[in-house]
């Protein structure tokens, strides 16, 4: 497929963390700020043989150049879907669709792809605070296999050019929670400064570990960041194993929870476990029997529901149930965008289970 397919479309002092697991976010703010890579998602279906031939990492993510994505697409059958993406972006869009206040911080390129990304944020009522670059906007090719698993090739493009000096305190003004994606670990000084400024702004800091192979490659630095800055740590079983070395869910959750306010272990069809203030909350998986179509964005949208619940002051049990509902609905479609009828089911759940506050 030719390149024309795409045209239409150090820092900071150590901060002391306050452990108060059930406290609501500051009453003055409901704003969630996401910091991550501004990427456009390209989604295509293929079998495991295609995945192997392409050199993909099953269930993981590999950094590649733009040409690799285009060459891989040229061998794929069918017309790919193209949607705005990136882990933190998916999460803040989900928060906005739930009725929350959301802002996204990232770096886009000039041209049609960057315009497409920014316009999509505005259409979803997310405040875009986008840095600019002459480099192409980043993109992710997600190959979806028949088992609904997604394996990714990522070209960071403009997102790779984010620098510590790009991040200023004003970006986190009035934030209740600042949410970062683990994929930013490729850019350690940018991530460190963003975390420090988020804490200085008085926000709680949420980190999604994002991909097990990224965690493996950055384990030492990641541990330092979690200890210094992170209040809310989210991981699936593969990511938790890569970070903690623990395979058994209880042991992995205990290790995730050391030094953070809230730790979450997502266990797929078995639901999730939340550790906070010395207790463990088991959250059942959501669902009505429909099988998963694609797991792209499942963790990102789980975080949307959970973090939205936190800023609204919901009990952790209900935050987890809302996260499960969002994660389930996004698995019923291709890509990380829940259709309106899915959001209607989730809003009904919220209305039926509004907490007494």
Residue 1 has pLDDT above 90, yes or no: no
Residue-level pLDDT at 301? 96
User: Which of 211, 47, 76, 68 has the alpha carbon at shortest distance from 144?
Assistant: 47
Better-predicted residue by pLDDT, 26 or 349: 349
pLDDT at residue 146, rounded to an integer? 92
Position 24 scores a pLDDT of 40
pTM for the structure as a whole: 0.85
Which residues have CB under 8 Å from 145's CB, separation 6+?
45, 46, 47, 48, 51, 58, 151
Alpha-carbon distance of 283 to 316, in angstroms, equals: 10
Asked whether residue 10 is assigned to any structural domain, the reply reads: no
335 versus 99: the higher-pLDDT residue is 99
The per-residue pLDDT for 20 is: 34
Query: Is residue 158 within 8 Å of residue 164, measured between CB atoms?
Result: no
Whether 283 shows a pLDDT value over 50: the answer reads: yes
**Is residue 7 included in any domain, yes or no?**
no
Give the CATH number of the domain where residue 207 resides: 3.40.1190.20
Q: Is 287 a residue whose pLDDT tops 60?
A: yes
Structural domain includes residue 147: no
In the sheet that holds 279-283, the strands lie side by side as 127-133, 101-109, 31-35, 175-181, 204-208, 232-236, 262-266, 272-276, 279-283
Mean pLDDT score across all residues of the chain: 88
Is 235's pLDDT higher than 70?
Answer: yes
| Closest listed residue to residue 80, CA positions, set 46, 39, 51 | 46
Closest among 160, 132, 152, 143 to 80, alpha carbons compared: 143
Asked if residue 350 lies in contact with residue 323, where contact means CB atoms within 8 angstroms, the answer is: no
Beta strand 81-85 pairing with 39-45? antiparallel
Number of domains in the chain: 1
| Dihedral pair phi/psi, residue 37, rounded to 5° | -85, 130
Q: Is 65 contained in some domain?
A: no
pLDDT digits (tens, 9 = 90+) for 17-68: 433 333 344 445 899 999 999 999 999 999 999 999 999 999 888 999 999 9
Interval 243-273: pLDDT, tens: 999 999 999 999 999 999 999 999 988 999 9
Confidence of residue 355 (pLDDT cuts 50, 70, 90): low
For residue 192, what are the CA distances in angstroms to 167, 223, 327, 339, 352? 10, 12, 28, 35, 40
pLDDT category of residue 176 using cuts at 50, 70 and 90: very high
Whether 15 is in a domain gets the answer no
Mean pLDDT of 306-328: 95
DSSP secondary-structure letter at 76?
A: S
User: In sequence order, which ranges of the chain are alpha helices (DSSP H)?
Assistant: 48-54, 66-74, 87-97, 112-123, 188-200, 212-217, 219-229, 237-244, 249-256, 298-311, 316-330, 340-352
What average pLDDT does this structure show over 117-130? 96
Give the pLDDT confidence score for residue 247 in this predicted structure: 94
Residue 210 lies in a domain: yes
Does the residue 114 lie in any domain? yes
Per-residue pLDDT at 353 exceeds 90? no
Q: What percent of the chain has pLDDT over 90?
A: 74
Q: How confident is the model at residue 294 (pLDDT cuts 50, 70, 90)?
A: confident
Burial of 249 (0-12, 13-18, 19+ CB in 10 A): middle
Give yes or no for a contact between 38 and 159, defined as CB atoms under 8 angstroms apart: yes
Q: Report percent pLDDT > 70 for the chain.
A: 91
For residue 236, being part of any structural domain is answered with yes
What mean pLDDT comes out for the span 106-126?
94
Residue 326 tokens, joined: 């969002």
List, in sequence order, every residue forming a beta bridge with 276; answer none if it has no partner.
262, 279
> Which residue(s) pair with 254 in the sheet?
none
Which residue bears the tokens 């709680």?
A: 204
> From CA 86, how far away is CA 34, in angstroms rounded?
10
Domain that holds residue 256: 26-38+85-136+157-352
């Amino acid at each position: 497929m030719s390149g024309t397919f795409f045209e239409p479309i150090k820092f900071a002092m150590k901060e002391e963390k306050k452990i108060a697991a059930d406290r609501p976010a500051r009453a003055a703010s409901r704003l969630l700020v996401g910091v991550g890579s501004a990427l456009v998602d390209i989604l295509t279906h293929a079998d495991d043989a295609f995945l192997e031939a392409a050199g993909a990492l099953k269930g993981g993510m590999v950094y590649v150049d733009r040409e690799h994505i285009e060459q891989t697409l040229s061998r794929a059958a069918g017309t790919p879907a193209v949607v705005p993406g990136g882990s933190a972006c998916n999460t803040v869009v989900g928060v906005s669709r739930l009725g929350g206040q959301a802002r996204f911080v990232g770096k886009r390129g000039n041209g049609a792809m960057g315009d497409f990304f920014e316009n999509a944020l505005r259409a979803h009522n997310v405040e875009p605070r986008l840095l600019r670059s002459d480099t192409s906007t980043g993109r992710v090719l997600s190959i979806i296999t028949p088992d609904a698993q997604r394996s990714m090739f990522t070209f960071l493009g403009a997102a790779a050019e984010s620098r510590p000096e790009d991040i200023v305190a004003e970006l986190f003004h009035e934030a209740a929670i600042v949410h970062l994606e683990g994929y930013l670990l490729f850019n350690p000084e940018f991530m460190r400064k963003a975390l420090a400024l988020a804490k200085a702004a008085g926000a709680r800091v949420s980190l999604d570990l994002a991909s097990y192979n990224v965690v493996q490659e950055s384990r030492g630095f990641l541990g330092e960041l979690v200890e210094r800055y992170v209040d809310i740590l989210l991981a699936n079983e593969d990511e938790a194993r890569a970070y903690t070395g623990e395979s058994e869910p209880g042991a992995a959750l205990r290790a995730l929870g050391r030094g953070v306010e809230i730790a979450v272990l997502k266990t797929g069809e078995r639901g999730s476990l939340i550790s906070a203030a010395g207790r463990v909350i088991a959250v059942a998986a959501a669902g009505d029997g429909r099988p998963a179509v694609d797991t792209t964005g499942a963790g990102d949208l789980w975080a949307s529901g959970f973090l939205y619940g936190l800023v609204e002051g919901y009990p952790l049990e209900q935050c987890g149930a809302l996260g499960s509902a969002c994660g389930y609905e996004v698995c019923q479609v291709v890509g990380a965008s829940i259709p309106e009828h899915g959001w209607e089911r989730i809003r009904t759940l919220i209305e039926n289970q509004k907490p007494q506050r």
